[in-house]
């Protein structure tokens, strides 16, 4: 493989240079990401990363939580406490009658609800006593939306009537009818139609806004438009203790329009030119390596012999040594010591007293005939008194031992 290393390095260098030129053109031809997600974690133009991350600066004493739970089932706020705020920035505020009842009950105890959506459900329209111009854009793409928007905030309650504009997309929704006896107009679109209203309920407030793109990253980062965001949210009680950033309606099943396309993981990765170049380089390198290594042959594996039992050979060698020297008594002593150790470890019998009780107990536990065990024990006792042991006695003793081990 070493002789192919220079060629491999040359190929890697050539691939990197080609991909560098390709990705350089991609940077020049980069286009605006026009997906409308309104998600707080997205940094694309039509998302709400800036709006969410600036909440802490607007409400420094408040605890900010994110929830995807249905109204009334929140785990971070209470339906019975006051000085709380609930923020919804979504494409479709598709609340049904039950959800509206829970939101109204939440607001009545002294809480603020801020809703910004281009579509308001009929249940919400009825609860607010208004009619919105929003229509279902399910059959329209982002390119069909109008470009260039102007919004203004009313005076009072705001300190001026500045107009805010940006060159991006706009839904163009507004309130076609409102109940002037219960509704306060807070803002208008560029045609002077109301798109931001305030309603009171109990001790709390509803703030309903019909242009969620006014809180997207593109709008807020354009010139001084961040002041629109600050003034619009200044209507919320500055002393709130808890704020819920709602994502329930953003992800409510079957209701979201302008969803990001279901792209495969590879197409998502290839969206980033630098990562695309690195990934392609790695793939081509791996392919080249596989093609080169396919030529290798499997090395011959020699047959391994079965390991010998060296311990058994050692025992046999020692046995022959004692036998050849004619030291039969010493060899019988070692055989008897091994026998007694075997009895102690296997049958748990003490060997300090080799009497009739020992023979009887060993017979019960081993199953060997009591007479045969008695002969072995008698010979072991004889060894302590004998001056020498003959070859015939050694052979007989060895035979008795072998018969015991076979039967036991």
User: What's the chain's Rg over C-alpha atoms?
Assistant: 46
pLDDT tens-place string over residues 270-285? 667 777 888 888 888 8
The greatest distance separating any two alpha carbons of the chain, rounded to the nearest whole angstrom, comes to 131
Task: Take residue 17 and report the two structure tokens written for it.
Answer: 């240079």
Tens-digit pLDDT profile for residues 222-250: 888 898 899 899 999 999 999 999 999 98
Q: What is the pTM of this model?
A: 0.56
Closest CA to 148 of 209, 227, 210, 219: 219
Partners of 132 in the β-ladder: 175
Enter the DSSP assignment of 178.
-
Query: What is the residue-level pLDDT of the chain in tens, covering all 408 positions?
Result: 556 666 666 677 677 666 666 655 554 456 778 888 999 999 999 999 999 999 999 999 999 999 988 998 887 788 889 999 999 999 899 999 999 999 999 999 999 999 999 889 889 999 998 887 765 444 344 444 556 677 888 766 676 667 788 888 888 888 888 888 889 999 888 888 898 999 999 999 999 999 999 999 999 998 888 988 998 999 999 999 999 999 999 887 544 434 444 556 666 666 677 778 888 888 888 888 777 776 666 677 788 777 776 655 665 676 676 666 667 788 888 888 888 898 899 888 898 888 888 889 988 888 888 888 888 889 888 888 888 888 888 888 888 888 888 887
For 202, other C-beta atoms within 10 Å of its C-beta total 13
CA 377 to CA 66: how far, in whole Å?
Answer: 87
Check residue 112 and give left, alpha or beta (phi > 0: left; psi -120 to 50: alpha).
beta
Under CATH, to which class is 49-260 assigned? alpha beta
Going from N- to C-terminal start, the domains of the chain cover 49-260, 311-407
Report the alpha-carbon distance of residue 130 to residue 174 in Å, rounded.
11
């Amino acid at each position: 493989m070493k002789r192919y290393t220079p060629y491999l390095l040359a190929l890697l260098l050539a691939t990197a240079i080609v991909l560098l030129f390709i990705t350089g053109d991609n940077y020049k031809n980069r286009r605006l990401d026009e997906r409308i997600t309104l998600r707080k974690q997205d940094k694309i133009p039509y998302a709400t990363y800036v709006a969410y991350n600036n909440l802490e600066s607007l409400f420094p004493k408040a605890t900010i939580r994110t929830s995807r739970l249905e109204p009334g089932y929140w785990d971070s706020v209470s339906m019975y406490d006051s000085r709380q705020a609930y923020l919804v920035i979504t494409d479709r505020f598709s609340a049904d009658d039950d959800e509206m009842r829970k939101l109204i009950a939440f607001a009545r105890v002294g809480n603020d609800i801020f809703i910004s959506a281009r579509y308001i459900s009929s249940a919400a329209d009825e609860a607010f006593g208004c009619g919105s111009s929003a229509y279902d854009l399910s059959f329209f793409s982002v390119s069909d939306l109008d470009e260039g928007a102007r919004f203004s905030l009313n005076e009072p309650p705001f300190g001026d009537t500045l107009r805010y504009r940006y060159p991006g997309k706009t839904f163009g929704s507004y309130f076609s009818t409102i109940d002037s006896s219960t509704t306060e107009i807070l803002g208008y679109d560029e045609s002077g139609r109301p798109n931001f209203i305030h309603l009171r309920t109990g001790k709390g407030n509803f703030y309903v806004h019909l242009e969620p793109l006014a809180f997207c990253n593109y709008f807020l980062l354009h010139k001084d438009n961040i002041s629109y965001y600050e003034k619009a949210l200044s209507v919320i009680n500055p002393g709130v203790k808890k704020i819920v950033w709602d994502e329930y309606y953003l992800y409510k099943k079957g209701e979201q329009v302008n969803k990001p396309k279901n792209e495969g993981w590879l197409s998502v990765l290839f969206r980033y030119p630098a990562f695309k170049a690195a990934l392609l380089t790695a793939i081509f390198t791996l392919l080249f390596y596989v093609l080169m290594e396919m030529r290798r042959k499997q090395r011959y594996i020699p047959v391994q012999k079965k390991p010998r039992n060296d311990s058994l050979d050692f025992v046999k060698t020692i046995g022959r040594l004692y036998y050849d020297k004619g030291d039969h008594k010493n060899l019988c002593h070692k055989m008897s010591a091994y026998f007694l150790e075997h009895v102690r470890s296997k049958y748990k019998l003490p060997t300090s007293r080799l009497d009739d009780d020992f023979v009887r107990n060993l017979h019960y536990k081993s199953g060997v005939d009591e007479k045969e065990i008695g002969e072995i024990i008698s010979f072991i006792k004889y060894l302590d008194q004998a001056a020498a042991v003959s070859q015939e006695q050694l052979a007989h003793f060895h035979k008795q031992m072998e018969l015991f081990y076979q039967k036991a």
